[in-house]
Amino acid sequence: MARPRQALRVGLGYDIHRLEPGEALFLAGVRVPCPYRAVAHSDGDVVLHALCDALLGALAAGDLGEHFPDTDPAHQGRASSEFVAEILAMEVMQHYRIGNIDVNIIAQAPRLGDHKAAMRINLARLFALPLDCVGLKARTNEHCDSVGEKRAIQAQAVVLLEARTRPRATTALTRRRRVGTEHEPATMRLAPKPPRSRRETRDSR
The pattern of x and - marking residues 182 through 201 that bind Zn ion according to CB under 5 A reads: --------------------
Q: How far is the CB of 176 from Zn ion (least distance, A)?
A: 23
SS3 string, the chain, reads CCCCCCCEEEEEEEEEEEEEECCEEEECCEEEECCEEECCCCCCCHHHHHHHHHHHHHCCCCCHHHHCCCCCHHHCCCCHHHHHHHHHCCHHHHHEEEEEEEEEEECCCCCCHHHHHHHHHHHHHHCCCCHHHEEEEEECCCCCHHHHCCCEEEEEEEEEEEECCCCCCHHHHHHHHHCCCCCCCHHHHHCCCCCHHHHHHHHCC
* Alpha carbons 170 and 186: distance in angstroms, whole number: 25
- What's the residue count for the chain? 205
Q: What are phi and psi of 73, to 5 degrees?
A: -60, -20
49 binds Zn ion (CB under 5 A): yes
Would you count residue 53 as binding Zn ion (CB under 5 A)?
no
Q: Which is nearer to Zn ion, 5 or 75 (CB)?
A: 75
Contact in structure between 102 and 8 (CB atoms under 8 Å) = no
Question: Using CB under 5 A, which of 9, 11, 13, 15 touches Zn ion?
Answer: 15
Nearer to Zn ion, 49 or 97 (CB): 49
For residue 43, state whether it binds Zn ion (rule: CB under 5 A): no
**How many binding residues for Zn ion (CB under 5 A)?**
2
Smallest distance, Zn ion to C-beta of residue 183, A: 30
Which span (14-22, 65-73, 106-114, 162-170) binds Zn ion, by CB under 5 A? Answer: 14-22
Contact region for Zn ion (CB under 5 A) — 41-49, 103-111, 136-144, 174-182?
41-49
For Zn ion, the closer CB: 9 or 49: 49
Residue whose CB is nearest to Zn ion in the complex, by number: 49
Candidate ranges 23-31, 44-52, 122-130, 167-175; the one touching Zn ion (CB under 5 A): 44-52
What residues from 107 to 166 belong to the interface with Zn ion (CB under 5 A)? Answer: none
Q: Which stretch binds Zn ion (CB under 5 A): 8-16, 67-75, 106-114, 166-174?
A: 8-16
Interacting residues toward Zn ion by CB under 5 A: 15, 49
